Amino acid sequence: MPNTPLLTVERLLFERDDCNVFEQIDLEVGRGEIVQIEGPNGSGKTTLMRLFTTALQPTSGNIRYAGQAIDLCRYEYLSDILYVGHQPGVKMTLTAEENLRWMAADCSNSAQDALAAVGLAGYADIPCYNLSAGQHRRVALARLLMTNAKLWYLDEPFTAIDKQGVSFLESCMRDHIRRGGAVVLSTHQDLTIDGVRKCIIVPHGDQGGF
């Protein structure tokens, strides 16, 4: 259904050490939307992202993809999401190009073109253990040009990138939502993209809300 949100979160809670990490979360993310997750350090932003990607299981509540519980469409859901986390997630013994081809095996786009777009032209054949932390981050961000996923989860994606990298990332997000995709990201960075909707995470026991 075209008007059904890509992501629906209902009464989501997650316990750690018998205590809720954050107050109950209800959220909808539609096609063409960017939602920015905000909250103080330690409020559970990364935990929330890991719940969205199924790396963690919620204590209670529901997560739906295109109106269907993700447990019932797990393969479709996982095939349709892209996650970029705090760590770049590159394999050090592989080259930059090999990493991209491994990360996005079903994409027909050129890995070398993607690397050039993030400022790594000429680095395609270099093993990643010879690249800097910032270059590792660029390899990870090049995945944004190598994916067909509709729903992007970006956890602090501006870490270890310069102004040019910030501009590239924002441009990728604009293009993605223009094509009908959606982005959920956590960041303290002020975005220059119009229409970003914010979701404030409230640590359990704090006062506040969405």
CATH number of the domain where residue 49 is located: 3.40.50.300
Pair (101, 71) in one structural domain: no
Domain identity same for 25 and 106:
no
Question: Are 16 and 49 found together in one domain?
Answer: yes
Residue 176 lies in a domain: yes
Closest CA to 32 of 207, 114, 152: 152
- Asked if 15 and 57 count as a contact pair (C-beta separation under 8 A), the reply is no
Token pair, residue 140, equals: 């990870």
Q: Are residues 73 and 166 in the same domain?
A: yes
The pLDDT of residue 106? 65
What does the block give as tokens for 179? 């094509």
Query: Do 185 and 126 share a domain, yes or no?
Result: no
| Residue 161 shares a structural domain with residue 188 | yes
**pLDDT-based confidence at residue 158 (cuts at 50, 70, 90):** confident
Q: How far is 85 from 187, CA to CA, in rounded Å? A: 11
Q: Are residues 133 and 52 in the same domain?
A: no
128 and 94 within one domain: yes
> Two tokens at 78?
């996982």
pLDDT exceeds cutoff 90 at 189: no
Count how many domains the chain has: 2
Contact 81, 151 (CB under 8 A): yes
Which of 101, 126, 148 terminates a domain? The answer is: 148
Confidence category of residue 134, pLDDT binned at 50, 70, 90: confident
pLDDT in tens, 136-154: 989 999 999 999 899 999 9
Q: CA 25, CA 186: separation in Å to the nearest integer?
A: 15
Q: Which of 148, 180, 198 is the last residue of a domain?
A: 148
Nearest to residue 131, comparing CAs of 90, 87, 84?
90
Computed over every residue of the chain, the mean pLDDT equals 90
In sequence order, what are the beta bridge partners of 184? 35, 153
Does 33 share its domain with 130? Answer: no
pLDDT of residue 46: 93
> What is the rounded distance in angstroms from the CA atom of residue 88 to the CA atom of residue 29?
25
Residue 85 lies inside a defined structural domain of this protein: no
Residues 32 and 115 in one domain: no
Instruction: Provide mean pLDDT across the span 22-30.
Output: 95
How do beta strands 182-186 and 197-200 pair? unpaired
Domain that holds residue 118: 90-148
Same domain, 100 and 76: no
Percent above pLDDT 70 for the chain: 95
Which residue type does 97 have?
E
